A and B are shown apart, each in its own frame.
Chain A
Amino acid sequence: MFEMLLATWRYRYFIASSIRNDFRSRFARSRLGAIWMILQPLAQVAIYAVVLSRVLSAKLPGVTSEYAYVIYLLSGMLGWSLFLELVSRSLTIFVDNAGLLKKIVFPKICLPLIVSGSALINNFLLLAATLGVFAMIGHNPGIHALWLCVLIPLTLAFSTGLGLVLGTLNVFIRDVAQVMSVILQLWFWLTPVVYMPSIVPGEFSQILAANPMYWIVSAYQDVLLFQRSPDIEHLAWVGLASLGLLAFALVLFRRSSAEMVDVL
């Protein structure tokens, strides 16, 4: 484990420059460059807002703002998009870089770190855009927004852990990526980003409670829209589970790493 940390430290320049290049190449040939990274989730929010606001905005108790539903969508999307980008990119990270892994010796753990760093930067851009929209519609999330300092790392840990496990498995069983693309869509609808948990029938609330993303997304909505502290007890459980998942991911990654290049 210590070796892995040391190797990562020696390759810090490579990790930094990879994240930078990731960013640069997005600017390279499209006019709007990285703006697309923010426009995509914002456009999604706009679509849901237009299509669903009539149906769902009445269901937001205790919020007076006429833009309540838009704020609700934006808050949830901030957490979900970080999760989605991390998981879907980590899923194919080793397979996509097969050529590099086969020819050049470098710590493989750099690859998921690059994805995490790059996703984090995209998420910060989205956060800035979200706060910009909030300012435009006159919504001030207040002091509770500082909870993001906890929520973002928590989302990062959970998503990276899950992504690394799936990415490692995908090297050996390529169906994982295919199955996951379906599961991620289903997962989005099992997480209250677009709708409110209050409209979920009682018998399904069990399923909702078992979904760690439910607690994460709810916490984003709590601190950005409802201006209240999130459900700390459940978040702590999610945090603990994330650490467990990360540890499991590292063990799996280390054990598999000798055979990984053999099958790539």
Chain B
Amino acid sequence: MKLTGIGASEGVAVGPAFVPATGRPQPERERITENEVETELQMFGKAVEAVVGNLSETANNLRASGKEEEAGIFEFHVEMAEDPELVSAVEERIRNLQSPEAAVLAAGEEYAAQFAQMDDEYMAARADDVRDVMGQISAQLMGRGASGFEALQIPSVVLAQSLAPSDTARIKVGMALGFVTAEGSRTSHVSIMARSMGIPAVVGVGPTLDGALDAQAVALDGGDGYAIADPDADTVAEFERMSAALDEERAALDEYRHLEASTSDGRRIEVAANLGSASEADDALEWGAEGVGLFRTEFLFMERDDLPTEDEQYQVYSAVARAFGEKPVIVRTLDAGGDKDLPGVEQAHEENPFLGWRGIRMSLDTPELFKPQLRAILRAAVHGNLRVMFPMVADVGELRAAKTILQESRRELKAEGVDTGEVETGVMIETPAAAICAAELAKESAFFSIGTNDLVQYTLAADRGNERLRRLQSADHPAVLALIRQTCEAASVVGIQVGVCGEAAGEPEMIPKLVELGVTELSMGAPSIPRAKKVVSEL
């Protein structure tokens, strides 16, 4: 029997079927008596406290292991469990002699039903969150655990109506081979979890799942989005072959991890990693990064109440510099703007923050922000091979102004008797203006790095977040390619390196074009490195 749905997480798997004993929790009692009210109110308070405790612990564990997105889900659940409006609604029901377990399910269902009706897929998915959390509180009140995943003891494919974060979090490592769910979309939690666990998932197969719940075994293809219940021997063999082929493909790419990639005509192409935080450095080296083509520094400034101090920044930059040793690390100075909050910096509301006061524009106007960052980079450069790159440059005047502040910072540090390291300066080519003025910029830069994501957005006048404009969101457009060519030509006249640090750098179909245009460094999300090296070495 074939179940067709949405491929939500790539990969294939075949194995025994596991159907968790779930279904909507049923309250043990509907009504209570007048003299039980006070005790039941207390019991309800304790149940909420216990569930909040569990959820917070899960959130903290996920955060500690670097899983921010998943941790956020559980924080949302904590807020739901202790929601003041919900708590008072449940308390009122208890005072009206409804049992607390029935009250919490009924009060939660009012919200769940409301979310489920919304025409927005993402909002509708929040109905599952409410039911999940209310189910946990009611199970706590009735003295039971919330789901049947304790029974999952051998690696299996999990079949379920839907899977809540509290379900997936309860699965022991390695026990889930894949997920098949009746409900869900690519943005459902189950899909996010599957991708983060690295297992295949097919979601949204609909009511056909009911016919498959008795299956002994299941095969699924999370790329093409289908599953087969009780596959015959030929199908099992086929899936085992596909699974082995995928493993082999991954293993084959492993060979390329630590290769120094060159084209067949002998052009050496450096393949580097983009880092969004210092904690990603070791992982990037594992994947075979030959340096860091883009070290974003925004993470240091976000979600806090004050600006990071020079020392704090120095520690972070030093850690990355040390991890990479002689390999170059390009630190991009702060690229924040009106779309992100920045502590201590007055930002007026902007109609078009991507065309607003951001990147180098903000840095030059805000020395109290810019100088500590430059000083920290200069000091950390003692520990490795740091380079500094300025974002959003539109003309050579900005580059000169930024370099002047860098020199000033170096002089000040020297006067203070503080050691500084050599730091080359370069420009991020992401405005069409910078590409057009590349010849002039090249004379005063030690390197260029093309930020294709923004270069595409600005060149094609197409918002990179607008789904309707997908056609205009690729670097593979004659106008963008012409600007890349112009940038590479300007760089080659003075003999400086040109990297690409946008998404295009890791796309197998774009790499040959970029290399052909004269790009000598490709920087990408670390897991793409082995494949990029393979593509380069086959050119």
Partners in one complex: no
